[in-house]
């Protein structure tokens, strides 16, 4: 039984310091962007299953007032404190990973503010020493998650929000 548990554990890679960034800037207005450097992500290297969790309040803005508005007015982060993603890397094979970047399809469900959105995107994977590095970018729209942008600031916030991911997985032991 101990041997079996070691095999199962060796199939998982994870990070607790994944970087998730978003940009909602519009030209000629103040940049709207934030970073969350504490995204937790688990990758099952046997199946290609990927699961991520991040706390909304962990997004950091350069301007404190912008961060306050983000949490209170747009994300309602006391009521909806986290965002999750559950998906699958299509045709993922750990044996095919090397230091050379490889593009793989990722399909799954992103949940923000209790609303689900199917994500179908491409990620870049590579192996660096004992780590698996995943990067990706895709867009979402505020209305897909029932986020209402007031008319007074609507022209200052992008209609599509760019999300950038950078996760460095280490083997879970």
Instruction: Read off the pLDDT of residues 22-67 as tens digits, 9 standing for 90 and up.
Output: 999 888 788 899 999 999 999 999 999 999 999 999 999 999 999 9
Residue 2 lies in a domain: no
Spell out the SS3 assignment of 119-137: EEEEEEEEEECCEEEEEEE
Number of C-beta neighbours around residue 28 at 10 A: 7
Residue 1 lies in a domain: no
Residue 9 lies in a domain: no
Low-confidence stretches of the chain (pLDDT < 50) are 1-10
Domains of the chain: total: 1
CA distance 44 to 109: 17
Residue 4 lies in a domain: no
Residue 64 belongs to what H/E stretch? helix 64-69
Residue 99 lies in a domain: yes
Residue 5 lies in a domain: no
Domain that holds residue 108: 18-171
Residue 12 lies in a domain: no
> Residue 40: which of 79, 77, 84, 81 has the closest Cα?
84
Q: Look up the CATH number of the domain holding residue 30.
A: 2.40.128.110
State residue 51's pLDDT score.
97
Residue 81 lies in a domain: yes
Radius of gyration of the chain (CA): 17
* Partners of residue 103 on adjacent β-strands: 124
């Amino acid at each position: 039984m101990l041997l079996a548990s070691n095999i199962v554990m060796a199939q998982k890679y994870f990070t607790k310091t994944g970087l998730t960034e978003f940009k909602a800037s519009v030209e000629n207005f103040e940049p709207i962007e934030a970073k969350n450097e504490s995204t937790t992500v688990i990758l099952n290297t046997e199946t290609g299953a990927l699961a991520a969790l991040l706390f909304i309040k962990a997004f950091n803005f350069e301007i404190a007032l912008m961060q306050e508005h983000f949490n209170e007015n747009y994300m309602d982060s006391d009521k909806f404190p986290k965002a999750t993603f559950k998906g699958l890397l299509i045709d993922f094979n750990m044996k095919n990973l090397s230091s050379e970047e490889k593009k793989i399809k990722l399909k799954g469900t992103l949940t923000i503010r209790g609303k689900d959105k199917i994500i179908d995107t491409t990620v870049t994977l590579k192996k660096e020493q004992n780590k698996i590095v995943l990067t990706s970018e895709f867009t979402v729209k505020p209305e897909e998650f029932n986020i209402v942008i007031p008319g007074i600031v609507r022209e200052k916030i992008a209609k599509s929000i760019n999300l950038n991911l950078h996760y460095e997985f280490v083997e879970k032991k």
